[in-house]
């Protein structure tokens, strides 16, 4: 049996289904991200697991124990909120110790556990500071330490990096993963950031309109999206008309009236000289992304997105006619979205 199981979990508000019959199994020590756009039900799912939102249908099972209707405090889960929710009048050390004091942990053990977790999150030198004296990343780590110090069976992260700037957010992604691996704690994280979910998760759960649409390892999810929604939401994708030839091999239909919808990632397309490749086009836009150039190429199949690695050579100019080529094995057949947008 999985360590955390959601069995037909659902939440209904009047006539609106916020979460519909969700089934999910999470193994002990696994890092799983719930990914999706605003309003897809990911935060509601996390809040039901935490006990902050009442369950309408289904069950939540933790290590073989049904906690569906248990009070939040009795579940013993660690939660890091989007706002961090630190006590401004308490030092870092006292913020981290708060949960242990509420559990009446002996002072000697309390001090040992607080010291240990502050070292884990690399804040032992800031134990006597107040939240206002810390950076955003440091406050985030205080919230993480406070959740971990009670030694919960599961750690729940609700958009923990959304308040940080881009550079710090990327740094903290890997810091969270380092800490999670070192502790070995089962973790569920809610995020709308695709790169965040792909970079640090063991598995990613994509949600749309209250339903789970795909569960896979990050690489599999990116390389083999099931639907048009997932293809476009998890990274960039070119949607192309497709057909199968007489041998059953999938190929792009240059007439534009294919019976299939195919996905082709921008980095899978090669830019060739005019007259070469499978399709002809003209560069209509270009954007410099540091390590990459992002080109918009006008073709008879519409404008396609092409990514080319910045190798130090001069970029291609707008207005340049080009050929486009790709490996047909990299085309992915998409199913029609079954969930309403």
Q: What is the pLDDT of residue 84?
A: 80
What pLDDT is recorded for position 298?
97
Average pLDDT of the chain to the nearest whole number: 92
pLDDT of residue 254: 82
Q: Which residue has the tokens 């708060």?
A: 98
Q: How confident is the model at residue 156 (pLDDT cuts 50, 70, 90)?
A: very high
- As a whole number of angstroms, the distance between CA 80 and CA 109 comes to 23
Above 80 in pLDDT, residue 153? yes
- 340 — pLDDT class (breaks 50, 70, 90): very low
pLDDT, residue 334, reads: 93
User: Does pLDDT of 176 surpass 80?
Assistant: yes
What is the CATH code for 231-334?
2.40.50.140
CATH second-level architecture of 4-230? Answer: 3-Layer(aba) Sandwich (3.40)
Instruction: Check if 4-230 and 231-334 are the same fold.
Output: no
The answer to whether 204 and 215 are in contact (CB under 8 A) is yes
The 3-class SS string of the chain reads CCCEEEEEEEEEECCEEEEEEEEEEECCCCEEEEECCCCCCHHHHHHHHHCCCCCCEEEEEECCEECCCCCHHHHCCEEECCCCCCCCCCCHHHHHHHHHHHCCCCHHHHHHHHHHHHHHCCCHHHCCCCHHHCCHHHHHHHHHHHHHCCCCCEEEEECCCCCCCHHHHHHHHHHHHHHHHHHCCEEEEEECCHHHHHHHCCEEEEEECCEEEEEECHHHHHHCCCEHHHHHHCCCCEEEEEEECCCCCEEECCCCCCCEEEEECHHHCEEECCCCCCEEEEEEEEEECCCEEEEEEEECCEEEEEEEECCCCCCCCCCCEEEEECCHHHCEEEECCCCCC
Higher pLDDT, 121 or 162: 121
> What is the share, in percent, of the chain residues with pLDDT greater than 90?
82
Q: How confident is the model at residue 341 (pLDDT cuts 50, 70, 90)?
A: very low
**C-alpha dist (Å) from residue 299 to 100, 249, 281:** 63, 23, 4
Q: Averaged over 173-177, what is the pLDDT?
A: 90
Q: Where in the chain are the domains?
A: 4-230, 231-334
Tell me the whole-structure pTM to 2 decimals: 0.90
Q: Residues 290-313: pLDDT tens digits?
A: 999 999 999 999 999 999 999 999
Question: Above 90 in pLDDT, residue 100?
Answer: yes
Tens digits of residue pLDDT in 234-275: 999 999 999 988 888 899 988 778 889 999 999 999 999 999
Average pLDDT value for residue range 22-38: 96
CB-based contact 268:252 (threshold 8 Å): no
Would you say residue 170 has pLDDT above 90?
A: no
* 153-176 average pLDDT score: 87
State the pLDDT at residue 337: 60
How far CA 166 is from CA of 20, 123, 193, 276, 284, in Å, comes to 33, 22, 11, 39, 28
Look at residue 82 and tell me whether its pLDDT is greater than 70. yes
What's the rounded Cα separation, in Å, for the pair 121 and 139? Answer: 11
* pLDDT confidence tier of residue 172, bands split at 50, 70 and 90: confident
Angstrom distance (rounded) from CA 37 to CA 41: 9
Whole-angstrom Cα distance, residue 154 to residue 79? Answer: 9
Q: Between these two residues, 225 and 160, which has the higher pLDDT value?
A: 225
Name the most confidently modeled range: 84-88, 158-162, 251-255, 284-288.
Answer: 284-288
């Amino acid at each position: 049996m999985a360590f955390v199981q959601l069995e037909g979990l659902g939440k209904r508000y009047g006539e609106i289904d916020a979460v519909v019959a969700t089934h999910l199994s999470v193994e002990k020590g696994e890092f799983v991200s719930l990914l999706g756009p605003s309003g897809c039900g990911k935060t509601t799912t996390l809040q039901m697991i935490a006990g902050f939102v009442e369950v309408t249908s289904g069950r939540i099972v933790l290590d073989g124990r049904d906690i569906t209707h248990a009070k939040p405090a009795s579940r013993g889960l660690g939660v890091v909120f989007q706002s961090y929710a630190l006590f401004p009048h308490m030092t870092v050390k006292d913020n981290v110790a708060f949960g242990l004091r509420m559990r009446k942990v002996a002072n000697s053990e309390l001090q040992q556990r607080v010291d240990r977790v502050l070292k884990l999150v690399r804040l032992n030198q800031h134990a006597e500071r107040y939240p206002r004296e810390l950076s955003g990343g440091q406050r985030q780590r205080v919230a993480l330490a406070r959740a971990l110090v009670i030694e919960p069976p599961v750690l729940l992260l609700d958009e923990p990096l959304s308040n940080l700037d881009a550079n710090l957010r990327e740094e903290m992604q890997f810091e969270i993963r380092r800490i999670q691996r070192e502790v070995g704690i089962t973790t569920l994280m809610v995020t709308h950031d695709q790169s965040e979910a792909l970079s640090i998760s063991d598995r990613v759960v994509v949600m749309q309109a209250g339903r789970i649409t795909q569960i896979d390892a990050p690489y599999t999810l990116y390389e083999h999206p099931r639907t048009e929604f997932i293809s476009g939401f998890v990274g960039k994708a070119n949607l192309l008309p497709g057909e199968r030839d007489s041998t059953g091999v999938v190929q792009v239909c240059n007439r534009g009236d294919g019976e299939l919808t195919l996905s082709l990632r921008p980095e899978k397309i090669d830019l060739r000289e005019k007259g070469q490749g499978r399709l002809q086009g003209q560069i209509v836009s270009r954007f410099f992304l540091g390590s990459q150039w992002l080109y918009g190429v006008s073709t008879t199949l519409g404008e396609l997105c092409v990514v080319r690695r910045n190798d130090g050579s001069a970029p291609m100019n707008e207005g340049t006619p080009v050929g486009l080529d790709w490996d047909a094995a990299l085309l992915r057949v998409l199913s029609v979205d079954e969930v309403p947008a």
